[in-house]
Amino acid sequence: MTAILIATFLTASVEWVEAYTIILAVALSIGWGRALQAAGAALLALAVLTGAGSFLLTRIHDLAILQFVIGVFLTLFGVRWLGKAVARGAGLKKLHDEDAEFAALQARADIQDARAAWFIAFNGMLLEGLEVWLIVVALGVQTHHTVAAACAALLALAAVAAAGMMLRKPLARVPENAIKFTVSAAVLSFGSYWILESLGYVWPLGDATLLALFVFYLLGGLALIRLNNYRLNAAKVV
Amino acid sequence: MQGFIKTLFGDKRTLAVTALSVLVAVAVLHSPASLAVGMVLPLCLLAGAAYLARH
């Protein structure tokens, strides 16, 4: 339960930080009132999606099928985030830069148009929130803690909003890549654990295997970062 | 809608990596080396993440 809440909180923190950058850029153009209205509408849409997603998944009465479906979705999410985090950690890809993102948004011509800016804020919040939605629904339904997972995501939102209100600038110092790396290892652990369990495999250590898998993905990811970094530096020398 | 589908399934490479990893795991699970599947799936996924990082 604690692992699920921490994974949800961290995933949500990263996504809300990115969403905050978009809302801030829009707020400086059309005002905080309308920007927050767009963000609120997107949050409402996400709440409806969470309800609908949970309802659909709880219709699956066969535990093995439910575990397999959720395991596959978590694995798709986790392997994508781990790949990105390794690429960024090794320098194969630029780190996500909230300041640059903010500057690019402010340079957009359509952000001065009230209607277009409203939709930029709405779409931004919705798209960033979809990954939070996936984690809340997938981890929550499987463990029967959807409400607690949703609360962890809302707590992350409150923390980002509070930090944003204090600073009134993009939250560029949040270590997004380190958080994404850790979350991807945790999500992949749950994903691979449930996929194999649904296929009839009995994990030798039971639930304690989750911790072993988490350590495996963390250490494996770190090894990949070092290997890619070494290759990149070797290529520069040649 | 596009963002929704991308969030759920990722891109073609992510789908291919996950599908291949699960297929390999199923094959190993139905082989005499079925006990090794607990290592095979995580290794396949880690290799997949390495591939995704470079592409």
Chain B nearest-CA residue for A88? B53
Whether chain A has a CB inside 8 Å of the CB on B9: the answer is yes
Mind telling me how many Å the CA of B29 is from chain A's nearest CA? 8
Contact B5, A130 (CB under 8 A): no
The minimal CB distance from A82 to the residues B8, B25, B49 is found for B49
For residues A158 and A77, what is the distance between their CA atoms, to the nearest angstrom? 24
* ipTM of the modeled complex: 0.94
For residues A152 and A158, what is the distance between their CA atoms, to the nearest angstrom? 10
The minimal CB distance from A80 to the residues B26, B29, B52 is found for B52
Q: pLDDT in tens for each of the 238 residues of chain A?
A: 788 899 899 999 999 999 999 999 999 888 899 999 999 999 999 999 989 988 888 888 888 999 999 999 999 999 999 999 999 999 888 887 888 888 888 888 788 888 899 999 999 999 999 989 989 998 888 788 889 999 999 999 999 999 988 887 888 788 889 999 999 999 999 999 999 999 999 998 888 999 999 999 999 999 999 998 888 888 777 6
Structure tokens given for A195: 């996929």
CA angle A100, A105, A110 (to 5 degrees): 160
